[in-house]
Amino acid sequence: MELQNNYDVGIYCRLSRDDNNGHLESMSIVNQRQVLTDYVAEKGWKLKECYVDDGFTGTNFDRPNFKRMIKDAELGKINCIITKDLSRLGRNYVQAGYYTDEFFVEHNIRFIAINDGIDTIKEDNDIAAFHHVLNEIYPKQVSKKVRQVKRKSAEQGKFMGSQAPYGYMKSPEDKHILIIDEEAAVIVRRLFNEFASGDSARLIADRLNSQNIDSPRFYHYRKMGRVNPLSEQKNVWGSATVLQLLRNQAYIGNMIQGKRQVVSFKTKKMRTVSPENWIVVENTHEPIIERELWDRVHSLMDAKSRVVKTKKDDLGLFAGILQCADCNSPLAFTRKQLKNRERKFYRCSRYNNNGSKACSTHLIEEETLCEFVLNDIRQYAKLAKSDKEKVANRLFAAKQKTQKSETKVLRAQIGEIENRLAVIAGTLKNLYIDKCSGTIPENVFADLMNDFTNEQTQLQEQLPKLQSELASVQETTDEISEWIDLISSYTNLKTLTRSIVMELIDKITVSERNEVNGKIEQTIDIEYRFIGNLLQAKKEDIA
């Protein structure tokens, strides 16, 4: 580069929170500008422009005033660029190296980094490459430490997101704690209850739109008193939004974080993390919905994912809860238009897809099934209404019988853990005595204490989970009472609707039709909510 006495200079100042580190006054924009203007004045050069990017990271070059400076250099408005040091130019060694080694040379731009002694007019600038590498290491280390702190906080159950899930808000006392936003929580409860009653996500979304209820994104900005930056988008609910909310474990009090992570500290691009690597912490905040409703909704979602829709894109009355008795596949709903009527029926989906070698039809008409289920519900309703106590006692006895083996296993596991904890407590006491008496060396004592305390911690974490599971197995009174009250209200039921089916029934198993003594027989097994099929074929014993 040809040496000259006069230059049209552009000085460049940059500062980000990482660069400033919160306390280095010498790195401030004011300080940089003063040092650079004094340098230009001392040299007797002409200061054409000062370019400042305040609050922009040096890990990339997507900075407005840097781009303006490069444009001016290309147009010939400036022929010398000066920064306080190389890190002000940038902290990405590949891109920073491109500008110092190629761009500035090709465009006859003299570049000076005062504190690092870099001047492209000189021949001995090899040290610049090392500066570029070291300048990149700093933000890389900072980024790593920040990620580690955030992950540790997330693993402790602290909310680390910028925006609380719909239905929650950040606590004014602690931004890492979620509290219920009742206005939006009402909608969340509604979504779960309507889906549990058999409504599709599309129907729920249409209903919310017809009532002009703000979608989550628009609600968020309205609550903040700000205009949605994506206001060109329509304020509408979609089925995908409804399903996304229904899958969010935040509503049962669990904190799920770490679903996405940045590709590199040099870019803001994100990538999806596989579910097994998510950070899941249970019971971190107050739930909006009960676990029983969550389980029911997700059971229905799993069932609906296997439902085969008709050409009219509607669901059958029993779609999603019918199961083949032989292969456990769902029964697919089908409708056919005949001359005089429309025929609705269900067939094994495995048979539909793979033919008779896979399974048989297990065909059943919707009208026949509807009549059978109606009669079954009415019969239970009459029994429950006439003598609730007798029905309840029968259900208690039946359910306790099924729980007996499960309870036995859980109690055995709890007993083993309690015994082991007692042994560990005694061992730790003896170890301490041996240490004090000098029987065992300090290093052996430390290793044994570490092993036993780690085992003790694991067992103490496992014990309450098993105790909670045992308690849930034994809690039958409320569920049975709820079912009896629910079924009693359907004594005079005349028409079966999908919402009633979804409210009362968990599953219906249908066998193949067989001819016995010239008659067609088919077994239909109904599993009701809360009680399963405990009363199946035993109504006569109760009556």
> Does residue 208 sit in the same domain as residue 133?
no
pLDDT of residue 404: 61
Q: What angle do CA 37, 39, 41 make, to 5 degrees?
A: 70
CA-CA distance, 104 to 131, in Å (whole number)? 17
Q: What is the pLDDT of residue 377?
A: 87
Asked whether residue 332 is assigned to any structural domain, the reply reads no
CA distance 70 to 77: 10
132 and 253 both lie in a single domain: no
Give residue-wise pLDDT tens across range 251-306: 999 888 877 766 554 555 656 777 777 888 888 899 999 988 998 888 887 765 55
Strands 505-510 and 322-324, bridge-based pairing = parallel
Is residue 44 assigned to a domain? yes
CATH number for 91: 3.40.50.1390
Question: For residue 304, what pLDDT is reported?
Answer: 58
Structure tokens at 232: 């060109």
Token code pair at residue 378: 């009415």
Q: For residue 163, is it within any domain?
A: yes
Q: 441-461 as b/e, with b when 16 or more CB fall inside 10 Å? A: eeeebeebeeebeeebeeeee
Note whether residue 330 is domain-resident: no
pTM equals: 0.46
Residues 136 and 160 in one domain: no
Same domain membership, residue 199 and residue 87: no
pLDDT score recorded for residue 151:
74
Q: Are residues 226 and 125 in the same domain?
A: no
In angstroms, rounded to a whole number, what is the distance separating the alpha carbons of residues 134 and 429? 52
Contacts of 41 (CB under 8 A, 6+ apart): 47
Same domain, yes or no, for 103 and 169? no
Residue 446 lies in a domain: yes
Q: Is residue 234 a part of any domain in this protein?
A: yes
What residue has token string 């009219």? Answer: 312
Q: Are residues 68 and 185 in the same domain?
A: no
Give the end of a domain, one of 477, 507, 530.
477
Write out the chain's pLDDT in tens, 543 residues: 455 678 999 999 998 765 544 444 557 888 899 999 999 999 999 999 999 998 888 888 889 999 999 999 999 999 999 999 888 888 887 788 888 888 988 899 999 989 888 888 877 665 665 555 555 555 556 656 666 767 787 788 888 887 889 999 998 888 888 999 999 999 999 999 988 887 888 888 888 989 999 988 888 888 887 766 655 557 888 888 898 899 998 999 988 887 776 655 455 565 677 777 788 888 889 999 998 899 888 888 776 555 444 444 456 888 888 999 999 888 988 888 877 888 889 999 888 877 787 889 999 999 999 999 998 888 888 877 777 666 666 666 666 665 666 677 778 888 888 888 888 888 888 887 877 877 888 888 888 888 888 888 888 888 887 777 666 655 555 566 667 777 777 888 888 888 888 878 888 999 998 888 888 889 999 888 766 555 553 433 333
Please tell me the distance from the alpha carbon of residue 332 to that of residue 394, in angstroms, as a whole number. 35
As a whole number of angstroms, the distance between CA 60 and CA 69 comes to 15
Q: In angstroms, rounded to a whole number, what is the distance separating the alpha carbons of residues 314 and 128?
A: 68
φ/ψ of 483, rounded to 5, equals -65, -40
Joined together, the tokens standing for residue 16 give 């980000």
Given a contact cutoff of 8 angstroms between Cβ atoms, the answer to whether 347 and 334 are in contact is yes
Q: Give the residue numbers spanning the domain of 267.
A: 156-294
How far apart, in Å, are the Cα atoms of 124 and each of 62, 128, 129, 137, 416? 29, 9, 11, 23, 74
Last residue of a domain, one of 264, 294, 324: 294
Kindly state whether residue 516 falls inside one of the protein's structural domains.
no
The letter for the amino acid at 232 is E
Q: Is 203 helix (H, G, I), strand (E, B) or coil?
A: helix
Please give the angle made by the CA atoms of 166, 228 and 221, to the nearest 5 degrees: 40
- Tokens found for residue 399: 């359910």
Longest dimension (CA), the chain: 115
- Write the pLDDT tens digit of every residue in 83-102: 998 888 888 877 888 888 88
Q: Which residues contact 301 (CB under 8 A, 6 or more apart)?
A: 195, 243, 246, 247
Domain identity same for 35 and 125 = yes
Nearest to 306 by CA among 496, 507, 501: 507
Q: What angle do CA 469, 474, 477 make, to 5 degrees?
A: 135
Angstrom distance (rounded) from CA 179 to CA 171: 6
Write the CATH number for 257.
Answer: 3.90.1750.20
Distance set, CA 369 to CA 196, 380, 408, 457, 515 (Å): 21, 17, 38, 54, 18
Helix, strand, coil abundance in the chain, percent, nearest 5: 50, 15, 35
Closest CA to 147 of 20, 265, 229, 37: 265
Q: What is the pLDDT of residues 402-444, one digit of tens each?
A: 566 667 777 888 888 888 888 888 888 888 787 787 788 888 8
Picking from 147, 166, 196, the residue at the C-terminal end of a domain is 147
Residue 42 lies in a domain: yes
Domain count within the chain: 3
pLDDT tens figures, 25-58: 557 888 899 999 999 999 999 999 999 998 888 8
Same domain (yes/no): 231, 139: no
Strand order in the sheet with 524-528: 322-324, 505-510, 524-528
Nearest to 121 by CA among 103, 99, 97, 104: 104
Full DSSP string of 258-310 = -SEEES-TT---EEEPPGGGSEEESS-S--SS-HHHHHHHHHHHHHHTTPPP-
Residues 194 and 129 in one domain: no
The predicted structure's pLDDT at residue 52: 93
3-class state of residue 180 by DSSP? strand
pLDDT at 540: 37
Residues 180 and 285 in one domain: yes
State both tokens at 11. 């000085």
Same domain, 99 and 137: yes
